Amino acid sequence: MDVASLVAIDIHTHVHRSISAPGAKEDDAHLAAMAKYFKTDAAAFTVDELAAYYRERKMAAVTFMVDNASQPPDPNKATNEEIAERAAANADVIIPFASIDPHRGAEGVAAARRLIADYGVRGFKFHPSSQAFCPNDREVAYPLYEAIAEAGLPALFHTGQTGAGAGTRGGGGIRLGFSNPIYLDDVAVDFPDMPIIMAHPSFPWQEEALSVATHKPQVYIDLSGWSPKYFPPILVQYANTLLKDKVLFGTDFPVLTPERWMSDLEKMGGFRDEVKPGIFKDNAAKLLGLK
């Protein structure tokens, strides 16, 4: 990967479709609901399509799926293995993360070790609300973190409000409280050498997220899932000052595109010119060991 030639590194994108998916792209009800929530088009990208999209924009992207042990396998979805394999074929722009639901227990830990050793994944994505676990649950989650920490890889956690299940009966059974970023303070204490990325502006717990990121040196914040025009002023303030080296550009693509994110940023202003290179690329490149 030629980092110097990149405009940005998007730390947070999703692959929703396998290259061998038998169904139509329009068959994804979950993605359609997410698109409605974000007021955008429903789009399901394969890794190769994602790579072409970001290559055209001179950007790199971290990408992943979200594993959920409570749901049956979906042949339309890309697996961790497929994402890693296709990322290797598009290594100029794609950085693969894996996702394993901590409820998979010892089987999940073994899978994580295999994905690290045999497939070269560069980090792991967790969605505590969708996967229904508390991040500081020692019995459920810590064995998986141990495998990640041993490899020196980052763990990315969804925090705050989520579009998943929003507006559906009972919120689709999703409990927002699992994604309070304060739980990651415990994880940061117990795994001090495992980089932690708190995904999204953490509504309604933004100050908790800023507190943890300010206090724990290995904790970062990504800016995905929200248009910059909705960023809380205190998040912008910290991104410009105390956390300027720990804030990361991210979109949550495909529900938000980099064009929309950057256009909205220019309209709202807020970020100082001197911090933008770090937010857009340099902070992520350092965290991921790309420079």
CA separation for the pair 262, 251 (Å, rounded): 9
Q: 93-105, pLDDT tens digit by residue? A: 999 999 999 999 9
Indicate the pLDDT class of residue 269, thresholds 50, 70 and 90.
confident
Residue 291: is its pLDDT beyond 80? no
Region 139-158: what's the mean pLDDT?
98
CATH number at residue 24: 3.20.20.140
CA separation for the pair 156, 128 (Å, rounded): 11
Indicate the pLDDT class of residue 198, thresholds 50, 70 and 90.
very high
Cross-strand bridge partners of residue 222: 248
| Size of the chain in residues | 291
Q: What is the 3-state secondary structure (H, E, C) of 186-228?
A: HHHHHCCCCCEEEECCCCCCHHHHHHHHHHCCCEEEECCCCCH
Residue 204: is its pLDDT beyond 70? yes
Residue 43: is its pLDDT beyond 90? no
- Which of the two residues, 276 and 30, has the higher pLDDT score? 276
Q: Which domain holds residue 238?
A: 3-287
Q: Cα separations (Å) of 280 from 15, 66, 273? A: 21, 24, 11
Share of the chain above pLDDT 90, in %: 84
* pLDDT at position 22: 78
Indicate the pLDDT class of residue 162, thresholds 50, 70 and 90.
confident
Region 143-149: what's the mean pLDDT?
98
Average pLDDT in the chain: 93
Counted domains in the chain: 1
